[in-house]
Structure 1
Amino acid sequence: MYVVIMGCGRVGSSLSAGLERLGHEVSVIDRDPQAFRRLGADFRGRQIVGQGFHREVLTAAGVERADAFAAVSSGDNSNIISARVARETFGIDRVVARIYDAKRAAVYERLGIPTVATVPWSTDRLMRMLLPDGVASAWREPTGTVAILPLPVHEDWVGRPIRELEQATGCRVAFIVRFGTGVLPKSDTAVQAEDTVYVAAVSGTVSDVTAAAAAPPQEA
Protein backbone atom coordinates (compact mmCIF):
# COMPACT_ATOMS: atom_id res chain seq x y z
CA MET A 1 0.00 0.00 0.00
CA TYR A 2 0.95 3.63 -0.48
CA VAL A 3 0.06 5.66 2.62
CA VAL A 4 0.17 9.42 3.15
CA ILE A 5 0.53 10.59 6.75
CA MET A 6 -0.15 14.17 7.78
CA GLY A 7 1.79 14.99 10.93
CA CYS A 8 5.26 13.87 11.94
CA GLY A 9 4.99 14.03 15.71
CA ARG A 10 5.43 11.00 17.94
CA VAL A 11 2.36 9.26 16.55
CA GLY A 12 3.02 10.10 12.91
CA SER A 13 6.68 9.09 13.01
CA SER A 14 5.90 5.85 14.85
CA LEU A 15 3.10 5.03 12.40
CA SER A 16 5.41 5.74 9.46
CA ALA A 17 8.12 3.47 10.82
CA GLY A 18 5.64 0.70 11.54
CA LEU A 19 4.18 0.82 8.03
CA GLU A 20 7.63 0.76 6.44
CA ARG A 21 8.61 -2.26 8.52
CA LEU A 22 5.59 -4.04 7.05
CA GLY A 23 6.76 -3.21 3.54
CA HIS A 24 4.41 -0.34 2.73
CA GLU A 25 5.40 2.87 0.96
CA VAL A 26 4.95 6.02 3.06
CA SER A 27 4.89 9.75 2.45
CA VAL A 28 4.90 12.13 5.43
CA ILE A 29 3.72 15.74 5.57
CA ASP A 30 4.60 18.26 8.27
CA ARG A 31 4.84 22.03 8.33
CA ASP A 32 8.01 21.89 10.46
CA PRO A 33 11.08 20.54 8.60
CA GLN A 34 12.71 19.68 11.93
CA ALA A 35 9.91 17.22 12.68
CA PHE A 36 11.28 14.78 10.10
CA ARG A 37 14.24 14.10 12.39
CA ARG A 38 11.92 11.73 14.25
CA LEU A 39 11.80 9.46 11.22
CA GLY A 40 15.41 8.37 11.56
CA ALA A 41 18.12 7.87 8.97
CA ASP A 42 16.59 4.64 7.64
CA PHE A 43 13.31 6.22 6.50
CA ARG A 44 12.94 5.75 2.73
CA GLY A 45 9.67 7.58 2.06
CA ARG A 46 8.89 11.11 0.97
CA GLN A 47 9.14 14.05 3.36
CA ILE A 48 6.92 16.96 2.34
CA VAL A 49 7.01 20.34 4.10
CA GLY A 50 3.68 22.17 4.21
CA GLN A 51 0.11 22.24 5.47
CA GLY A 52 -1.51 18.86 4.97
CA PHE A 53 -4.84 20.30 3.82
CA HIS A 54 -3.38 22.27 0.88
CA ARG A 55 -4.00 20.52 -2.42
CA GLU A 56 -0.56 21.26 -3.81
CA VAL A 57 1.08 19.82 -0.70
CA LEU A 58 -1.06 16.68 -0.86
CA THR A 59 -0.29 16.32 -4.56
CA ALA A 60 3.44 16.59 -3.85
CA ALA A 61 3.01 13.82 -1.28
CA GLY A 62 1.51 11.57 -3.94
CA VAL A 63 -2.01 11.56 -2.58
CA GLU A 64 -3.45 10.95 -6.04
CA ARG A 65 -2.09 7.40 -5.99
CA ALA A 66 -2.43 6.81 -2.26
CA ASP A 67 -4.37 3.84 -0.92
CA ALA A 68 -4.78 5.35 2.55
CA PHE A 69 -4.46 8.65 4.40
CA ALA A 70 -3.92 9.33 8.11
CA ALA A 71 -4.21 12.79 9.70
CA VAL A 72 -2.39 12.65 13.02
CA SER A 73 -1.10 16.18 13.62
CA SER A 74 -1.63 17.97 16.94
CA GLY A 75 -4.54 20.06 15.61
CA ASP A 76 -8.12 18.78 15.38
CA ASN A 77 -9.10 21.30 12.71
CA SER A 78 -6.08 20.53 10.52
CA ASN A 79 -6.69 16.81 10.86
CA ILE A 80 -10.34 16.87 9.90
CA ILE A 81 -9.89 19.34 7.05
CA SER A 82 -7.05 17.33 5.52
CA ALA A 83 -8.98 14.08 6.01
CA ARG A 84 -12.02 15.51 4.25
CA VAL A 85 -9.90 16.79 1.36
CA ALA A 86 -8.27 13.38 1.02
CA ARG A 87 -11.68 11.67 1.05
CA GLU A 88 -13.82 14.12 -0.92
CA THR A 89 -11.33 15.65 -3.37
CA PHE A 90 -8.96 12.78 -4.02
CA GLY A 91 -11.37 9.90 -3.44
CA ILE A 92 -9.30 7.95 -0.90
CA ASP A 93 -11.46 5.32 0.82
CA ARG A 94 -9.18 4.51 3.77
CA VAL A 95 -9.02 7.76 5.73
CA VAL A 96 -8.65 8.26 9.48
CA ALA A 97 -8.20 11.36 11.63
CA ARG A 98 -6.93 11.68 15.19
CA ILE A 99 -9.20 13.94 17.23
CA TYR A 100 -8.66 15.18 20.79
CA ASP A 101 -12.20 16.55 21.27
CA ALA A 102 -14.52 13.54 21.68
CA LYS A 103 -17.63 15.62 20.87
CA ARG A 104 -16.11 16.70 17.57
CA ALA A 105 -15.17 13.10 16.84
CA ALA A 106 -18.84 12.10 16.91
CA VAL A 107 -19.69 14.81 14.36
CA TYR A 108 -16.89 13.75 12.03
CA GLU A 109 -17.92 10.10 12.28
CA ARG A 110 -21.35 11.12 10.99
CA LEU A 111 -19.61 12.85 8.07
CA GLY A 112 -18.04 9.53 7.17
CA ILE A 113 -14.54 10.22 8.51
CA PRO A 114 -13.35 7.47 10.89
CA THR A 115 -11.69 9.05 13.91
CA VAL A 116 -9.56 8.07 16.87
CA ALA A 117 -10.73 10.13 19.85
CA THR A 118 -7.43 10.28 21.70
CA VAL A 119 -8.57 10.98 25.26
CA PRO A 120 -11.35 8.33 25.55
CA TRP A 121 -9.18 5.77 23.75
CA SER A 122 -6.19 6.41 26.01
CA THR A 123 -8.43 6.33 29.09
CA ASP A 124 -9.82 2.94 28.11
CA ARG A 125 -6.34 1.55 27.48
CA LEU A 126 -5.17 2.72 30.90
CA MET A 127 -8.25 1.28 32.59
CA ARG A 128 -7.60 -2.09 30.95
CA MET A 129 -4.17 -2.11 32.57
CA LEU A 130 -5.31 -0.87 35.98
CA LEU A 131 -8.60 -2.66 36.58
CA PRO A 132 -9.41 -6.36 36.95
CA ASP A 133 -10.17 -8.34 33.82
CA GLY A 134 -13.62 -7.72 32.40
CA VAL A 135 -14.19 -4.29 33.95
CA ALA A 136 -12.71 -1.94 31.35
CA SER A 137 -14.71 -1.27 28.20
CA ALA A 138 -14.13 -3.29 25.04
CA TRP A 139 -15.49 -0.49 22.83
CA ARG A 140 -16.59 3.09 23.29
CA GLU A 141 -18.45 5.25 20.77
CA PRO A 142 -16.69 8.47 19.67
CA THR A 143 -18.21 10.82 22.25
CA GLY A 144 -17.26 8.47 25.07
CA THR A 145 -20.85 8.43 26.37
CA VAL A 146 -21.69 4.75 25.85
CA ALA A 147 -19.34 1.81 26.43
CA ILE A 148 -19.56 -1.88 25.59
CA LEU A 149 -17.93 -4.03 28.26
CA PRO A 150 -17.70 -7.68 29.24
CA LEU A 151 -19.57 -8.03 32.52
CA PRO A 152 -18.51 -10.60 35.13
CA VAL A 153 -21.71 -11.93 36.74
CA HIS A 154 -22.31 -13.73 40.02
CA GLU A 155 -22.76 -17.48 39.64
CA ASP A 156 -26.32 -17.22 40.94
CA TRP A 157 -27.32 -15.42 37.73
CA VAL A 158 -26.96 -18.70 35.86
CA GLY A 159 -30.42 -19.81 34.79
CA ARG A 160 -31.94 -16.34 35.23
CA PRO A 161 -33.34 -14.45 32.22
CA ILE A 162 -31.47 -11.58 30.65
CA ARG A 163 -34.29 -9.13 31.44
CA GLU A 164 -33.69 -9.59 35.17
CA LEU A 165 -29.98 -8.89 34.79
CA GLU A 166 -30.77 -5.74 32.81
CA GLN A 167 -33.25 -4.57 35.44
CA ALA A 168 -30.79 -5.17 38.27
CA THR A 169 -27.83 -3.48 36.59
CA GLY A 170 -29.58 -0.71 34.66
CA CYS A 171 -27.71 -1.57 31.48
CA ARG A 172 -28.55 -3.29 28.19
CA VAL A 173 -27.18 -6.72 27.28
CA ALA A 174 -25.69 -6.28 23.81
CA PHE A 175 -24.65 -9.87 23.11
CA ILE A 176 -23.34 -13.05 24.72
CA VAL A 177 -20.35 -15.14 23.73
CA ARG A 178 -21.40 -18.74 24.34
CA PHE A 179 -19.06 -21.65 23.54
CA GLY A 180 -16.99 -19.29 21.40
CA THR A 181 -19.95 -18.05 19.34
CA GLY A 182 -21.70 -14.68 19.53
CA VAL A 183 -25.38 -14.82 20.46
CA LEU A 184 -27.98 -12.01 20.32
CA PRO A 185 -30.15 -12.81 23.33
CA LYS A 186 -33.87 -12.21 23.79
CA SER A 187 -35.30 -10.89 27.03
CA ASP A 188 -36.14 -14.41 28.16
CA THR A 189 -32.77 -15.91 27.20
CA ALA A 190 -31.27 -17.50 30.29
CA VAL A 191 -27.70 -16.88 31.39
CA GLN A 192 -25.62 -20.05 31.18
CA ALA A 193 -22.45 -21.06 32.96
CA GLU A 194 -19.31 -19.97 31.09
CA ASP A 195 -21.22 -17.24 29.19
CA THR A 196 -19.35 -14.00 28.60
CA VAL A 197 -21.99 -11.28 28.82
CA TYR A 198 -21.31 -8.01 26.99
CA VAL A 199 -23.41 -5.03 28.01
CA ALA A 200 -23.91 -1.44 26.85
CA ALA A 201 -23.63 1.04 29.69
CA VAL A 202 -23.50 4.81 30.05
CA SER A 203 -20.09 6.13 31.03
CA GLY A 204 -19.92 6.95 34.71
CA THR A 205 -22.17 4.02 35.64
CA VAL A 206 -19.70 1.20 34.93
CA SER A 207 -18.72 0.75 38.56
CA ASP A 208 -22.37 0.53 39.67
CA VAL A 209 -23.22 -1.86 36.85
CA THR A 210 -20.26 -4.09 37.69
CA ALA A 211 -21.11 -4.13 41.38
CA ALA A 212 -24.75 -5.06 40.70
CA ALA A 213 -23.78 -7.91 38.39
CA ALA A 214 -21.22 -9.21 40.86
CA ALA A 215 -23.94 -9.55 43.51
CA PRO A 216 -26.47 -12.40 43.53
CA PRO A 217 -29.95 -11.58 42.18
CA GLN A 218 -32.37 -10.26 44.77
CA GLU A 219 -35.60 -12.14 45.15
CA ALA A 220 -38.77 -10.11 44.78
Structure 2
Amino acid sequence: MHIVIMGCGRVGSSLARSLERRGHTVAIIDQNVEAFRRLGPEFDGQTVKGVGFDREVLIESGIEEAGAFAAVSNGDNSNILAARVVRETFDVHNVVARIYDPGRAEVYERLGIPTVATVRWTADQVLRRLLPAGSEPQWRDPSGSVRLMEVHADRSWVGRTVEQIEAATGAKVPFVFRLGTGMVPKRGTHFQDGDLLYAAVADARLAEVEAILAAKPKES
Protein backbone atom coordinates (compact mmCIF):
# COMPACT_ATOMS: atom_id res chain seq x y z
CA MET A 1 0.00 0.00 0.00
CA HIS A 2 1.16 3.55 -0.70
CA ILE A 3 1.00 5.85 2.33
CA VAL A 4 1.52 9.62 2.44
CA ILE A 5 2.75 11.36 5.60
CA MET A 6 2.71 15.10 6.28
CA GLY A 7 5.40 16.17 8.74
CA CYS A 8 8.94 14.82 8.99
CA GLY A 9 9.57 15.44 12.67
CA ARG A 10 10.50 12.72 15.12
CA VAL A 11 7.11 11.03 14.84
CA GLY A 12 6.74 11.38 11.07
CA SER A 13 10.23 10.10 10.31
CA SER A 14 9.81 7.16 12.72
CA LEU A 15 6.45 6.34 11.17
CA ALA A 16 7.87 6.49 7.64
CA ARG A 17 10.70 4.09 8.47
CA SER A 18 8.33 1.68 10.27
CA LEU A 19 5.92 1.59 7.33
CA GLU A 20 8.73 1.05 4.85
CA ARG A 21 10.05 -1.87 6.92
CA ARG A 22 6.59 -3.40 6.67
CA GLY A 23 6.81 -3.34 2.88
CA HIS A 24 4.71 -0.25 2.14
CA THR A 25 5.74 2.58 -0.19
CA VAL A 26 5.95 5.94 1.56
CA ALA A 27 5.98 9.60 0.52
CA ILE A 28 6.65 12.19 3.22
CA ILE A 29 5.89 15.90 2.96
CA ASP A 30 7.56 18.74 4.85
CA GLN A 31 8.18 22.44 4.26
CA ASN A 32 11.73 22.17 5.56
CA VAL A 33 13.99 20.00 3.40
CA GLU A 34 16.48 19.75 6.29
CA ALA A 35 13.86 17.69 8.15
CA PHE A 36 14.30 14.83 5.68
CA ARG A 37 17.71 14.12 7.23
CA ARG A 38 15.85 12.42 10.06
CA LEU A 39 14.87 9.63 7.66
CA GLY A 40 18.44 8.39 7.38
CA PRO A 41 20.35 7.05 4.37
CA GLU A 42 18.41 3.77 4.19
CA PHE A 43 15.04 5.40 3.51
CA ASP A 44 13.96 4.62 -0.06
CA GLY A 45 10.68 6.53 -0.10
CA GLN A 46 9.79 9.83 -1.70
CA THR A 47 10.37 13.22 -0.07
CA VAL A 48 8.26 16.20 -1.17
CA LYS A 49 8.82 19.83 -0.17
CA GLY A 50 5.60 21.70 0.57
CA VAL A 51 2.50 21.70 2.75
CA GLY A 52 0.23 18.70 3.01
CA PHE A 53 -2.99 20.54 2.23
CA ASP A 54 -1.74 21.86 -1.13
CA ARG A 55 -3.41 19.94 -3.96
CA GLU A 56 -0.35 19.96 -6.25
CA VAL A 57 1.96 18.83 -3.44
CA LEU A 58 -0.40 15.99 -2.58
CA ILE A 59 -0.60 14.88 -6.21
CA GLU A 60 3.21 14.91 -6.41
CA SER A 61 3.33 12.68 -3.33
CA GLY A 62 1.09 10.10 -5.03
CA ILE A 63 -2.07 10.74 -3.01
CA GLU A 64 -4.25 9.63 -5.93
CA GLU A 65 -2.89 6.09 -5.51
CA ALA A 66 -2.59 6.20 -1.72
CA GLY A 67 -4.46 3.92 0.63
CA ALA A 68 -3.77 5.98 3.76
CA PHE A 69 -2.66 9.43 4.93
CA ALA A 70 -1.19 10.64 8.24
CA ALA A 71 -0.95 14.31 9.20
CA VAL A 72 1.65 14.57 11.95
CA SER A 73 3.09 18.08 11.61
CA ASN A 74 3.39 20.38 14.64
CA GLY A 75 0.21 22.35 13.85
CA ASP A 76 -3.32 21.23 14.73
CA ASN A 77 -4.98 23.40 12.08
CA SER A 78 -2.61 22.24 9.34
CA ASN A 79 -3.10 18.59 10.28
CA ILE A 80 -6.88 18.77 10.27
CA LEU A 81 -7.02 20.85 7.08
CA ALA A 82 -4.74 18.36 5.30
CA ALA A 83 -6.75 15.38 6.57
CA ARG A 84 -10.01 16.92 5.36
CA VAL A 85 -8.58 17.81 1.93
CA VAL A 86 -7.31 14.26 1.49
CA ARG A 87 -10.65 12.74 2.49
CA GLU A 88 -12.95 15.13 0.66
CA THR A 89 -10.90 15.90 -2.47
CA PHE A 90 -9.02 12.66 -3.04
CA ASP A 91 -11.50 10.25 -1.40
CA VAL A 92 -8.91 8.64 0.88
CA HIS A 93 -10.91 7.52 3.90
CA ASN A 94 -8.08 5.95 5.91
CA VAL A 95 -6.62 9.10 7.50
CA VAL A 96 -5.33 10.02 10.95
CA ALA A 97 -4.37 13.42 12.33
CA ARG A 98 -2.12 14.33 15.23
CA ILE A 99 -3.75 16.82 17.60
CA TYR A 100 -1.93 18.79 20.29
CA ASP A 101 -5.14 20.04 21.91
CA PRO A 102 -7.09 17.04 23.27
CA GLY A 103 -10.15 19.26 23.65
CA ARG A 104 -10.45 19.47 19.86
CA ALA A 105 -10.20 15.73 19.31
CA GLU A 106 -13.90 14.97 19.81
CA VAL A 107 -14.90 17.62 17.27
CA TYR A 108 -12.63 16.14 14.64
CA GLU A 109 -13.69 12.58 15.46
CA ARG A 110 -17.25 13.68 14.66
CA LEU A 111 -15.98 14.66 11.21
CA GLY A 112 -14.87 11.07 10.75
CA ILE A 113 -11.16 11.80 11.19
CA PRO A 114 -9.44 9.61 13.79
CA THR A 115 -7.12 11.73 15.93
CA VAL A 116 -4.25 11.02 18.28
CA ALA A 117 -3.56 13.58 21.00
CA THR A 118 0.01 14.03 22.19
CA VAL A 119 -0.93 13.00 25.74
CA ARG A 120 -1.42 9.45 24.48
CA TRP A 121 0.83 9.62 21.45
CA THR A 122 2.94 6.75 20.14
CA ALA A 123 3.89 5.85 16.56
CA ASP A 124 2.29 2.44 17.15
CA GLN A 125 -1.13 4.06 17.61
CA VAL A 126 -0.85 5.74 14.24
CA LEU A 127 0.26 2.48 12.63
CA ARG A 128 -2.81 0.72 14.00
CA ARG A 129 -5.04 3.39 12.47
CA LEU A 130 -3.27 3.52 9.11
CA LEU A 131 -2.93 -0.18 8.41
CA PRO A 132 -6.27 -1.87 7.74
CA ALA A 133 -4.94 -5.29 8.66
CA GLY A 134 -1.96 -6.99 10.25
CA SER A 135 -1.18 -4.36 12.86
CA GLU A 136 0.47 -5.18 16.14
CA PRO A 137 -1.78 -6.77 18.79
CA GLN A 138 -2.90 -4.66 21.74
CA TRP A 139 -2.63 -7.74 23.97
CA ARG A 140 -1.71 -11.39 23.55
CA ASP A 141 -2.33 -14.19 26.02
CA PRO A 142 0.76 -16.00 27.41
CA SER A 143 0.17 -19.05 25.22
CA GLY A 144 0.02 -16.92 22.05
CA SER A 145 -3.30 -18.45 20.99
CA VAL A 146 -5.57 -15.42 21.53
CA ARG A 147 -4.99 -11.74 20.88
CA LEU A 148 -6.86 -8.47 21.36
CA MET A 149 -6.70 -6.58 18.09
CA GLU A 150 -7.83 -3.23 16.77
CA VAL A 151 -9.65 -4.30 13.61
CA HIS A 152 -10.87 -2.05 10.82
CA ALA A 153 -14.32 -2.62 9.35
CA ASP A 154 -15.45 -1.56 5.88
CA ARG A 155 -17.80 1.44 5.96
CA SER A 156 -20.59 -0.79 4.68
CA TRP A 157 -20.81 -2.25 8.21
CA VAL A 158 -22.00 1.13 9.53
CA GLY A 159 -25.47 0.69 11.01
CA ARG A 160 -24.99 -2.97 11.91
CA THR A 161 -25.08 -3.86 15.59
CA VAL A 162 -22.02 -5.12 17.43
CA GLU A 163 -23.94 -8.35 17.99
CA GLN A 164 -24.33 -8.77 14.24
CA ILE A 165 -20.61 -8.16 13.77
CA GLU A 166 -19.80 -10.77 16.41
CA ALA A 167 -22.15 -13.27 14.78
CA ALA A 168 -20.62 -12.69 11.34
CA THR A 169 -17.02 -12.98 12.50
CA GLY A 170 -17.21 -15.38 15.42
CA ALA A 171 -15.07 -12.93 17.40
CA LYS A 172 -15.95 -11.03 20.56
CA VAL A 173 -15.94 -7.22 20.63
CA PRO A 174 -15.28 -6.23 24.26
CA PHE A 175 -15.07 -2.52 23.53
CA VAL A 176 -15.28 0.15 20.84
CA PHE A 177 -13.23 3.35 20.54
CA ARG A 178 -15.62 6.19 19.65
CA LEU A 179 -15.06 9.97 19.60
CA GLY A 180 -11.83 9.69 21.55
CA THR A 181 -13.26 7.44 24.27
CA GLY A 182 -13.50 3.70 24.84
CA MET A 183 -16.97 2.25 25.42
CA VAL A 184 -18.28 -1.21 26.27
CA PRO A 185 -21.01 -2.04 23.74
CA LYS A 186 -24.48 -2.75 25.08
CA ARG A 187 -27.22 -4.83 23.51
CA GLY A 188 -28.24 -2.99 20.34
CA THR A 189 -25.12 -0.81 20.11
CA HIS A 190 -24.64 0.10 16.44
CA PHE A 191 -21.32 0.43 14.65
CA GLN A 192 -20.87 4.07 13.59
CA ASP A 193 -18.67 5.74 10.99
CA GLY A 194 -15.31 6.48 12.61
CA ASP A 195 -15.59 3.73 15.23
CA LEU A 196 -12.61 1.48 15.91
CA LEU A 197 -13.45 -2.08 16.91
CA TYR A 198 -11.39 -4.05 19.39
CA ALA A 199 -11.87 -7.78 18.93
CA ALA A 200 -10.71 -10.79 20.90
CA VAL A 201 -9.63 -13.21 18.19
CA ALA A 202 -8.10 -16.67 18.15
CA ASP A 203 -4.68 -16.31 16.57
CA ALA A 204 -5.45 -18.90 13.90
CA ARG A 205 -8.57 -16.96 12.79
CA LEU A 206 -7.11 -13.46 12.61
CA ALA A 207 -6.78 -13.31 8.81
CA GLU A 208 -10.30 -14.71 8.41
CA VAL A 209 -11.85 -12.12 10.75
CA GLU A 210 -9.98 -9.26 9.08
CA ALA A 211 -11.10 -10.48 5.64
CA ILE A 212 -14.76 -10.64 6.74
CA LEU A 213 -14.72 -7.09 8.10
CA ALA A 214 -12.78 -5.74 5.11
CA ALA A 215 -15.60 -6.85 2.79
CA LYS A 216 -19.23 -5.86 2.66
CA PRO A 217 -21.48 -7.77 5.08
CA LYS A 218 -23.38 -10.69 3.62
CA GLU A 219 -27.12 -10.25 3.61
CA SER A 220 -28.87 -12.80 5.82
TM-score w.r.t. length of structure 2: 0.57
CA contact (8 A) 1:6 1:71 kept: yes
- The aligned residue for residue 68 of structure 1 is 68
Runs of 4 or more off by more than 2 Å in structure 1? 138-143
State the secondary structure of the residue aligned to 1:5: strand
Deviations 1:158-193 (A, max 9, x none): xxxxxxxxxxxxxxxx47xxxxxxxx69xxxxxxxx
Which whole-Å CA distance do the structure 2 matches of 1:21 and 1:114 have between them? 24
Which whole-Å CA distance do the structure 2 matches of 1:84 and 1:69 have between them? 11
- Cα deviation for residue 79 of structure 1 reads 0.3
Give the alignment of 1:112-191 within 5 angstroms.
112-121=112-121, 174=184
CA contact (8 A) 2:6 2:30 kept: yes
Which whole-Å CA distance do the structure 2 matches of 1:139 and 1:38 have between them? 35
Which whole-Å CA distance do the structure 1 matches of 2:112 and 2:179 have between them? 13
TM-score w.r.t. length of structure 1: 0.57
Unaligned runs of 5+ in 1: 126-137, 149-173, 176-183, 186-220
Q: Does 1:107 align with 2:69?
A: no
- The aligned residue for residue 169 of structure 2 is none
Q: Does 1:11 align with 2:11?
A: yes
- The aligned residue for residue 28 of structure 1 is 28
Which whole-Å CA distance do the structure 2 matches of 1:52 and 1:82 have between them? 5
- Cα deviation for residue 100 of structure 1 reads 1.1
The structure with the largest alpha-carbon Rg is: 1
Which whole-Å CA distance do the structure 2 matches of 1:102 and 1:142 have between them? 11
CA contact (8 A) 1:117 1:142 kept: no
State the secondary structure of the residue aligned to 1:36: helix
- The aligned residue for residue 212 of structure 1 is none
CA contact (8 A) 2:71 2:83 kept: yes
- The aligned residue for residue 44 of structure 1 is 44
Q: How many residues align structurally?
A: 136
State the secondary structure of the residue aligned to 2:69: strand
How much is the aligned-residue C-alpha RMSD, in angstroms? 2.3
Unaligned runs of 5+ in 2: 126-174, 188-220
Against the structure 1 CA distance between its residues 89 and 66, is the aligned structure 2 distance closer, same or farther, given a 3 Å change threshold?
same
CA contact (8 A) 1:71 1:83 kept: yes
Q: Percent identity?
A: 60
CA contact (8 A) 1:103 1:142 kept: no
CA contact (8 A) 1:2 1:25 kept: yes
The residue type equivalent to 2:9 in the other structure is G
Which whole-Å CA distance do the structure 1 matches of 2:71 and 2:64 have between them? 16
Deviations 1:68-127 (A, max 9, x none): 0000011100100000000000000211101111111110000011111221457xx9xx
- The aligned residue for residue 98 of structure 1 is 98
- Cα deviation for residue 141 of structure 1 reads 6.0
- The aligned residue for residue 55 of structure 2 is 55
The residue type equivalent to 2:19 in the other structure is L
Against the structure 1 CA distance between its residues 22 and 89, is the aligned structure 2 distance closer, same or farther, given a 3 Å change threshold?
same
